[in-house]
Amino acid sequence: MGTIAVVDYGAGNLHSVRHALELVGGDVVVTTHPEDLREAERIVLPGVGAFGECAAGLRASGFVESLDEEVRHRGKPLLGICVGLQLLAREGHEHGVHAGLGWVPGIVRKLEAEAAGLKIPHVGWNDITATSASRIFEGFRRDTTFYFTHSFHLALDDPSFEAAYCEYGGRFTAAVLKDNVVATQFHPEKSQENGLKLLENFLQWKP
């Protein structure tokens, strides 16, 4: 198995992501250098914080061009986590309108859970329902509960890219899958046994 590059652009839960990937056998490099993506077999794009700040940080870091080359043109598997999923969208509507990578057709909007008497941000454990037959979402031993912490979600233009959904004051996309790109709104690195299984699946995934 080759190296897994975790992209450090100043907006990720890097220690936890690295530790979880190492627990399932990954050879992990956390990098601030876009050129390191050339040597990696797989790439992880984490993200914590506001969409606009994360998008600006990713662009300022110089990773956008390298991600495009290695993932979209060379076909390396990529896992996006939390805001790492949201950045794949066309744009995010958090504290204004900000451009995303545009890899997945959709926009990032605020959760509409308060009308149902639920708190925002959505923090805690919730079940997901997989809508994809991908092996990424196979092999969970008991249930499909994962840990979320977010106030915004990706509203897809094309529902065929939805790989899993969650219910929190209404249905929202919990994961997307497009070719060699998979991304989760939840945090696998914080989701204990199920999260480790998902990361293990990602390391073995051959899209």
166 contacts 148 by C-beta, under 8 angstroms:
yes
Question: Could you confirm whether 150 is annotated as catalytic?
Answer: no
Cα gap 202→34, rounded to integer Å: 21
Q: Quick one: which of 162, 176, 127 has its CA closest to 148?
A: 127
- Which position among 82, 98, 150, 166 bears the catalytic label? 82
C-alpha–C-alpha distance, residues 81 and 185, integer Å: 6
| DSSP sequence for 49-115 | S-HHHHHHHHHHHTHHHHHIIIIIIT---EEEETHHHHTTSSEE-SSS-EE---SSSEEEEE---GG
82 annotated active-site: yes
Count the neighbouring beta carbons within 10 Å of the beta carbon of residue 108.
25
Q: Are 37 and 67 in contact (CB under 8 A)?
A: yes
Indicate if 54 belongs to the active site: no
* Catalytic entry in 122, 150, 153, 187: 187
Q: 70, 94, 162, 189: which is the annotated catalytic residue?
A: 189
Catalytic site residues? Answer: 82, 187, 189
